[in-house]
Amino acid sequence: MKALHDFVKKFEPDHNNKLAHTTYDAFYTFLFQPPTVTKGGVHIKDGMDLKRLMVHVVLALQLLYVFGTWNIGHQHFVAIGEHTGLLEGFLLKVVYGLIQVLPIFVVTHVVGLGIEFFYAARKGHSVEEGFLVSGALIPLIMPPDIPLVWLAVAIAFAVVLGKEAFGGTGMNIWNVALLARVFIFFAYPTTISGDEVWISGIEKVGTEYFAASYGWAHHAFDWIFSGLGLATFGEGGQAVVDGFTGATPLGIAAKEGWAGVEAVYTEGQIFWGTIPGSIGETSVPLIVIGMIFLMVTRIADYRVIVGGLIGFFVAALMMNAIAPADLGPDTPGVFKFMAIHPLRQLMMGSFLFAITFMATDPVSSADTPTGKWIYGFLIAFIGLIIRVMNPAYPEGWMLSILLMNTFAPLIDHYVYQANAKRRAKRTSAMAKQRDELITRRGDIKVFNGDSDYRPVGNAGTYQ
């Protein structure tokens, strides 16, 4: 390791070359532990720096990347009626998914890190580490066919106006990844909502859906796959199967309730995540694994997550109580949506992903322990109301988290005020007890451990 360290140090540029030294420092601190950590005669001993903290979050997302890459290909081929089994055409599906995911990942990091490097060089300090997590999250919350140009614009907006304008890492008041998504949602809504964006490579011609041409992938991989006796891409253009719908379970539930969802997807498909949706938000077990990892390593505060789960079930049970007992064909869709069991609501959509990886952002969330409970609770409570009651957008975590990011300082303020009042009240009560004791006359005995204090001479004088 020392030899590698010495080899890397040979390439350290002059400090006067700000851009070059900023770039070098970013890679150096990524490869090696920081030279100074808190050790010795202090009450806090920690070898963790911010980069390594962020790397823990990135590691927790890796299973979602692997699954999401495969699921992109799986959903595409299921739509055209080919390789419908989970393991059929497995390598073909993974390659197809990589062709979609890699450009999104590369554009995200080239644009986001490019802006980070520019601002770091301009300010003359090291590259800030915050984008490690934002850059890992953004691809996972996008649809697989998101136009790369609009993605680049959204990332530039989120990093410049949502982060650097406030001073950089640790100073932003909103979650950067969610800002990128909300920009896409409001600026280019047709690319991130509706029933046609969640399955990659499907285009509508007239009134029919067809698989788009596979282009260079057909020529680059088919001869390799055919030589190995594996399934190939073909030339594309196949018609999708009869009854095809690219709608997510939430999109169906908003109109037809759980009965409509069951007509298209099984509970197993929804639970394991083999359904259309954003790249990394569909698989419940893999998200829970990441959640447990972050809580065990104390990267994510359990108060936000558990508070969110409580708020989710409280809101879901309230809606169940409001929904009519009998649901018929003429029942409005909102009441059918409200009547869905809380556990089924939990499986659908991106709540678990949002409360685990978005709401726990330590910069934009509440700081106080009590504030974290309130913050997580309100995110879930408000988000589920938006999901169910908003007919135009059957999901609510993006909006509820950004809203609570805005009010997190206010939550902490009232928690601080409540703590100060409680302590002042306790101090006042103790002072009152003391004054009553001093002014009391006659023989009294005050127990303080094993010592007895008795009045001597004037009342109020003790030995």
**Range among 197-206, 217-226, 371-380 with highest mean pLDDT value:** 371-380
DSSP states of 184-253 as a string? HHHHSGGGTSSSSSSSTTEEEETTEEEEPP-THHHHHHHHHHHHTT-----S--PBPPTT-----HHHHH
pLDDT in tens, 244-282: 778 899 989 988 999 999 999 999 999 999 999 999 999
Question: Does 319 or 21 have the greater pLDDT score?
Answer: 319
Cα four-point dihedral sign 48, 297, 401, 349: positive
Whether the per-residue pLDDT at 370 is higher than 90: the answer is: yes
Q: Does residue 38 come out as left (phi exceeding 0), alpha (psi in the -120 to 50 range) or beta?
A: beta
Q: What is the model's pLDDT at position 1?
A: 63
Whether the per-residue pLDDT at 38 is higher than 80: the answer is: no
Q: What is the model's pLDDT at position 387?
A: 92
Instruction: Provide the pLDDT confidence category of residue 441 given band limits of 50, 70 and 90.
Output: low
Percent of the chain exceeding pLDDT 70 equals: 82
User: What tokens does 313 get?
Assistant: 């079930």
pLDDT in tens, 406-436: 999 999 999 999 999 988 888 888 888 887 7
Question: Please, what is the average pLDDT of the chain?
Answer: 84
Q: What is the model's pLDDT at position 191?
A: 86
Instruction: Provide the pLDDT confidence category of residue 463 given band limits of 50, 70 and 90.
Output: very low
Under 8 Å between Cβ of 141 and 179: no
For the chain, the straight-line distance linking the first and the last C-alpha, in angstroms and rounded, comes to 68
* pTM recorded for the entire structure: 0.83
CA of 19: how far to CAs of 14, 49, 307, in Å? 10, 23, 43
Q: What is the model's pLDDT at position 373?
A: 96
Instruction: Provide the pLDDT confidence category of residue 74 given band limits of 50, 70 and 90.
Output: very high
User: What tokens does 132 get?
Assistant: 């490690």
Instruction: Provide the pLDDT confidence category of residue 45 given band limits of 50, 70 and 90.
Output: very low
Whether the per-residue pLDDT at 458 is higher than 60: the answer is: no
Whether the per-residue pLDDT at 11 is higher than 70: the answer is: no
Q: What is the model's pLDDT at position 51?
A: 67
pLDDT in tens, 299-356: 899 999 999 999 999 999 999 999 998 888 888 889 999 999 999 999 998 999 999 9
Q: What is the model's pLDDT at position 96?
A: 93
Q: How far apart are CA 124 and CA 417, in angstroms?
A: 39
User: Within 13 Å of residue 218, how many CA atoms lie on the same side as its CB?
Assistant: 9
Instruction: Provide the pLDDT confidence category of residue 459 given band limits of 50, 70 and 90.
Output: very low
Whether the per-residue pLDDT at 4 is higher than 60: the answer is: yes
Residue 213: φ, ψ to 5°: -65, 140
- Rg of the Cα atoms in the chain: 28
